[in-house]
Chains A and B, each alone.
Chain A
Amino acid sequence: MGLNRILDIGMSGLYAASAALQTASHNVANVGTSGFSRQSVTTGTRMPLGNSYGLLGGGADITGIRRLTDEFLIGRLRGQTAHMQAQQQTDLTLQEIELVLGPAGDNPIGTALDTFFASWSELSSPPITDELRRDVLDKAALLAGQISGAAAGFQDLAVQMERRVNDSVGILNDLLRGVADLNGQIQLAEGPGEFANDLRDRRDYLLQEIAQLTEVEAVGRGDGTVDVIIAGRTVVVRDQVDELDVSHDAETGVVQITAGNRNYPLGIQGGEIGGLISSLHAEVVNTQAMLDDFAAELIDRVNQVHVQGRTAGGSGLMFFTGTDAASIGVNPQLESRPDMLATSRTGLSGDNDIAREIAALGTETANSSIQNNLSELFGTLITDVAAAGASSRLKLESQQQTLDALTVRLESVRGVSLDEEAANMARYQNAYAASAKVIATAQDMFDTILSIF
């Protein structure tokens, strides 16, 4: 009791102000740290000392250091991030598809298609010469090359996307292990009423990184750890991780993610991985199928007419070989014997009915619809891809806006405000100075008393 107690109280104030100043410095120092949530020191009054005249205050105690954040916003941000990343991935895939198909203007396949039919038209206008036959074959080889090149491009794209799924799942497993580790550390570090703020921030940051890759939920346990749930499956419990695997069915081209039991794949839809898988299965496969259908139509229709023809060398051969975009090619027999290219049903040198009919397959006439004009048919293919691209771009923009708004709101809650920290520092500096003054006053009082002796 007495002067020592004043010293103690002064000391407690010094400690509290010092801790608050340290925390403010910590906040200021981490103003640029991503995922950092600002912290604040909470203080309380010490147990008062009972006296005959009442309870005498005993100074301040640091009761804890709080982390100011909003778990609800963080959860939403993760969800939105996963959506956005998936959409972004779809958009990127569509851009890749566009690169494979070529630009809208002077589209290589479209141009090759037009010049192919034009070369037939040229061949059909007499006199029919060997140069013109050769030209038709050259244009056909160019067209077949463009189409099979695009098919190979889609194949490459699919392979690359699978590879990226593998890479991303590897990163995801690392991140999950990181979360599990942090779970363990947090469990160790936290005592009752104590929070390992920075570790929790670090864990939130990792979870946010996971949300870039897949949809993720984090459910807190009472012990400070979180369970991580991906697409309905719990993959992290405390410090235990159930790692994810990628399986690829070479036959169907289907890529699946499994965890634990391989018979039950995870239906991941969000994040980069979800976006990769879904756009691989939808956009890439669909466009490939459209290109295959188109190539099959081209092969069938041209062949159907050409086989009706006759040449001096015999009856009409197949013009194209193959059945789809990957396998289309010009019949090698024709390549070596251009005179086997049929221009007519009679095989007479001046007859051109077959050439005219084939030319008409890619030509707009009064009674040709989109369906029976191969040029237009290809036009609908790229228009479909373009429409998907435009709608994806719109979705992406709106999702980006939502994500930005959520990020800004979260920053508003947990971010460091330098103004606030400056004001706090001034406040705690004053508090520190004041507490020091209390100690100095107590010292004076000691001196006064000691001077009596």
Chain B
Amino acid sequence: MVMRVTEGQISRMVYYGTQNNLGNMARLQEMTSTGLRINAYADDPRGVGLVRHYESLLTQNDQYLRNINRSRTMVDSTDMALQDLLELIRDASQVARREVSGASSSWQTRSVAAAEVEGLIGAAMTLLNQSVEGSSLFGGFRTDLQPFVRSSTGEVQYQGDVNRMMVAISPNTEMQVNVPGSELLGSDTSILGGFGDLGPRLGVNTALSEIARGDGWSMGSIVYSGNAGVDMTVDLSGAGTIGDVISLLGDAGLTAVISSDGRNLEITDPAGGPLTIRNADESGTASSLGIVGSSEDGTIAGTDIRTAPQWSTNLAAVESLATALPLGQIQLTMNGTDVIIDLSGSASLDDVRTAFETAVIGAGLPGLTMDLDGAALDIVSTTGETFQITSVAGDSTADALGIVGSGQPARLFGTLEALADAMRANDIEGMRAAIGELDAIQQHVLELEIEVGGRESMLEWTEGLLIDRDTRLNANLSNVRDADIIEVASELTHAETAYQASLLVSSRIMSMNLFDFL
């Protein structure tokens, strides 16, 4: 049966159809007027979650950027303070050097210099007591205190702590933004600077490139004049070892031997004195072999040209240990603990080091390491603790190895104060010691400054990343949230056409009925 078509039916269908079209248009209209693709949760539930997610990430990203800006104030101020501090230490060190070796230095100039150093101490305190927005830069967590104050006895004291402030500067990255003043009190490393002279004896096979503590020789010729008073040139450039030098000099009519203590060469003119040896040219070959000089009796004892000790150096080859072999024991005092370390099984310097370091760890103490510093052994603690090494009664081992003494961190204010005191007391040795420490502390501050400079680049770099991330997140957010206006406009035109068409057609149909024709 054909379906009946009634007016009510047509009007309903027209109504539903136009409602649909109108609804479409309203939806598109809303998109254009708000510019948003999601105007109700139901438009895109996944999109709703994503919009929230991206907005949240954007806020976080923004906060990281703000944290970076805030941190930058601290890091930059720290960096500038450290640079100024470096200048200041250099100044102090220069003053000290001038007063130690200057031709015109006297106790009067030194007392003036002492005042100068006092001034530098004050300047350093001002630098390190800086604050940002009321917070001390160098106090560790004690931002509420002036980190450096003078005690009742006039010494500079640190009243901050050792803590590091961390700031989140990007997802997963926290960066230290401060330098606690404790790190400026001195270096972290306590060094017992050894005084040993552990260079091995010279031998005929000693390479010329290794002599003079590794400085090597200057290849070339020497000139000597014997009792005939005639200058003779000996070309030594073909020599590779001490033995070669001895034989080349022998060929030239001179007797050369290694001294009995193995430190130097001894040159004798078999024809008797006088004998003079000098460099043939600027290359200074004779100087580098330590044999420049003149002698009435025809024998020139050269200067010490031993090589630097190596870890592999055999103890038996070390002249200064001759009377101490075999090695015995030394005593280490650290953290209130006394430890006797037995080095007797050692055949080489490496054995000494191993025995020492193993014994320290075995005693449960923070690690100490043994370093070779030129001809001497140094003992270093990287934890900044003080320690002492003493001889065991009746045992010369510690003295022979040159490691008796105490390891202390290099101090900033302590050293400056000691320097000023030494200057006032006209104590040149004290001033020298202070210069050594100042050099160490300068190195330490430089390292800190480099680290802080690294933080500045880290901030810079992270900021760049975050700005990129911001752009990307905004693009993602816009993709999810915003309406594509061009697309919406074209859809809107389409919907309009459909709406008009449905209105037109229904108006034609509805305006007609049979009554018109009867």
A104 → chain B closest CB, angstroms: 4
B26 → chain A closest CB, angstroms: 14
- Give the distance in Å from the alpha carbon of A119 to the alpha carbon of B464 in the complex: 22
Contact-residue bracket for chain A? 35 or more
A300 → chain B closest CB, angstroms: 20
Residues of B with C-beta under 8 A to A349: 135, 141-144
Given contacts A365-B172, A379-B52, contact A350 B178 (CB under 8 A): yes
- CB contact between B62 and one of A118, A346, A366, A420 (< 8 Å): that residue: A118
Q: Is A251 an interface residue (CB 8 A)?
A: no
- Give the distance in Å from the alpha carbon of A38 to the alpha carbon of B67 in the complex: 78
Residues of A with C-beta under 8 A to B508: none
- Give the distance in Å from the alpha carbon of A411 to the alpha carbon of B5 in the complex: 8
CB within 8 Å of B: which of A95-123? 95, 98, 103-107, 110-111, 113-115, 117-118, 121-122
- Give the distance in Å from the alpha carbon of A386 to the alpha carbon of B51 in the complex: 12
Given contacts A104-B38, A364-B171, A416-B6, contact A348 B45 (CB under 8 A): no
Given contacts A125-B167, A417-B6, contact A404 B12 (CB under 8 A): yes
Residues of A with C-beta under 8 A to B230: none
B49 adjacent to A379 (CB under 8 Å):
yes
- Give the distance in Å from the alpha carbon of A290 to the alpha carbon of B172 in the complex: 29
Residues of B with C-beta under 8 A to A426: 518
- Give the distance in Å from the alpha carbon of A379 to the alpha carbon of B56 in the complex: 9
- Give the distance in Å from the alpha carbon of A385 to the alpha carbon of B52 in the complex: 13
Q: Is A431 an interface residue (CB 8 A)?
A: no
B42 adjacent to A382 (CB under 8 Å):
no
- Give the distance in Å from the alpha carbon of A416 to the alpha carbon of B5 in the complex: 9
What residue in chain B is nearest A393 (Cβ atoms)?
B42
Contact stretch, chosen from A1-9, A73-81, A232-240, A351-359:
A351-359
Per-position 1/0 for A5-30, Cβ under 8 A of B: 00000000000000000000000000
Q: Is A389 an interface residue (CB 8 A)?
A: yes
- Give the distance in Å from the alpha carbon of A202 to the alpha carbon of B166 in the complex: 79
Q: Is A378 an interface residue (CB 8 A)?
A: yes
B44 adjacent to A350 (CB under 8 Å):
no
Residues of A with C-beta under 8 A to B141: 344, 346, 348-351
Given contacts A379-B52, A382-B49, A413-B4, contact A390 B41 (CB under 8 A): yes
A422 adjacent to B163 (CB under 8 Å):
no
Q: Is A387 an interface residue (CB 8 A)?
A: yes
Q: Is B515 an interface residue (CB 8 A)?
A: yes
B143 → chain A closest CB, angstroms: 4
- Give the distance in Å from the alpha carbon of A418 to the alpha carbon of B13 in the complex: 16
Q: Is A219 an interface residue (CB 8 A)?
A: no
Residues of B with C-beta under 8 A to A31: 7-8
Which of B52, B135, B136 has most chain A Cβ within 10 Å? B52
Q: Is B60 an interface residue (CB 8 A)?
A: yes
Q: Is B168 an interface residue (CB 8 A)?
A: yes
Given contacts A363-B60, A366-B171, contact A383 B46 (CB under 8 A): yes
- CB contact between B45 and one of A105, A387, A413 (< 8 Å): that residue: A387
Q: Is B80 an interface residue (CB 8 A)?
A: no
What residue in chain A is nearest B38 (Cβ atoms)?
A104
A383 adjacent to B56 (CB under 8 Å):
no
- Give the distance in Å from the alpha carbon of A352 to the alpha carbon of B515 in the complex: 89
A106 adjacent to B60 (CB under 8 Å):
no
Residues of A with C-beta under 8 A to B59: 111, 114-115, 118
Q: Is A408 an interface residue (CB 8 A)?
A: yes
Residues of A with C-beta under 8 A to B4: 412-413, 415, 417, 420
B48 adjacent to A126 (CB under 8 Å):
no
- Give the distance in Å from the alpha carbon of A344 to the alpha carbon of B66 in the complex: 21
- Give the distance in Å from the alpha carbon of A128 to the alpha carbon of B513 in the complex: 84
Residues of A with C-beta under 8 A to B133: 127, 129
- Give the distance in Å from the alpha carbon of A376 to the alpha carbon of B42 in the complex: 19
B475 → chain A closest CB, angstroms: 15
CB within 8 Å of B: which of A338-382? 344, 346, 348-353, 356, 359-360, 362-366, 375-376, 378-380, 382
- CB contact between B51 and one of A104, A113, A350 (< 8 Å): that residue: A104
B8 adjacent to A382 (CB under 8 Å):
no
Interface secondary structure of A, over-half rule: helix
- Give the distance in Å from the alpha carbon of A113 to the alpha carbon of B63 in the complex: 13
A114 adjacent to B7 (CB under 8 Å):
no
Given contacts A104-B38, A105-B38, A349-B143, contact A126 B177 (CB under 8 A): yes
What residue in chain B is nearest A351 (Cβ atoms)?
B141
B16 → chain A closest CB, angstroms: 5
B52 adjacent to A125 (CB under 8 Å):
no
A416 → chain B closest CB, angstroms: 6
A95 adjacent to B168 (CB under 8 Å):
no
Q: Is A124 an interface residue (CB 8 A)?
A: yes
- CB contact between A124 and one of B39, B45, B143, B168 (< 8 Å): that residue: B168
- CB contact between A104 and one of B6, B41, B139, B172 (< 8 Å): that residue: B41
Q: Is B132 an interface residue (CB 8 A)?
A: yes
B53 adjacent to A376 (CB under 8 Å):
yes
Per-position 1/0 for B126-163, Cβ under 8 A of A: 00000111111001111110000000000000000101
- Give the distance in Å from the alpha carbon of A362 to the alpha carbon of B63 in the complex: 12
CB within 8 Å of A: which of B177-217? 177-178
Q: Is B411 an interface residue (CB 8 A)?
A: no
B292 → chain A closest CB, angstroms: 62
Which of B39, B47, B53 has most chain A Cβ within 10 Å? B53
- Give the distance in Å from the alpha carbon of A218 to the alpha carbon of B7 in the complex: 28
Per-position 1/0 for A310-344, Cβ under 8 A of B: 00000000000000000000000000000000001
Q: Is B103 an interface residue (CB 8 A)?
A: no
What residue in chain B is nearest A363 (Cβ atoms)?
B60
What residue in chain B is nearest A107 (Cβ atoms)?
B52
A394 → chain B closest CB, angstroms: 9
A316 → chain B closest CB, angstroms: 16
Residues of A with C-beta under 8 A to B40: 95, 98, 389
Q: Is B481 an interface residue (CB 8 A)?
A: yes
- Give the distance in Å from the alpha carbon of A139 to the alpha carbon of B143 in the complex: 25
What residue in chain B is nearest A392 (Cβ atoms)?
B42
A350 adjacent to B140 (CB under 8 Å):
yes
- Give the distance in Å from the alpha carbon of A417 to the alpha carbon of B141 in the complex: 90
- Give the distance in Å from the alpha carbon of A364 to the alpha carbon of B161 in the complex: 32
Residues of B with C-beta under 8 A to A344: 141
CB within 8 Å of A: which of B90-116? none
Question: Can you sample 30 A-B contacts with CB below 8 Å?
Answer: A31-B8, A117-B60, A118-B59, A121-B60, A125-B71, A125-B168, A126-B178, A127-B143, A348-B142, A348-B143, A349-B135, A349-B142, A350-B144, A353-B166, A356-B167, A364-B56, A365-B171, A366-B171, A379-B53, A380-B49, A383-B52, A389-B45, A392-B42, A411-B12, A415-B6, A415-B7, A415-B9, A419-B514, A420-B4, A422-B515
Q: A105-B38, A379-B52, A415-B7 are in contact. List 9 more A-B contacts (CB 8 A).
A: A38-B6, A122-B70, A127-B132, A346-B163, A350-B163, A353-B166, A363-B60, A383-B45, A415-B8
5 shortest interchain CB distances as A-B pairs: A415-B6, A127-B135, A386-B41, A348-B141, A415-B8
Interfacial residues, chain A to chain B (CB-CB below 8 A): 31, 38, 94-95, 98, 103-107, 110-111, 113-115, 117-118, 121-122, 124-129, 344, 346, 348-353, 356, 359-360, 362-366, 375-376, 378-380, 382-383, 385-387, 389-390, 392-393, 404, 407-408, 411-413, 415-420, 422-423, 425-426
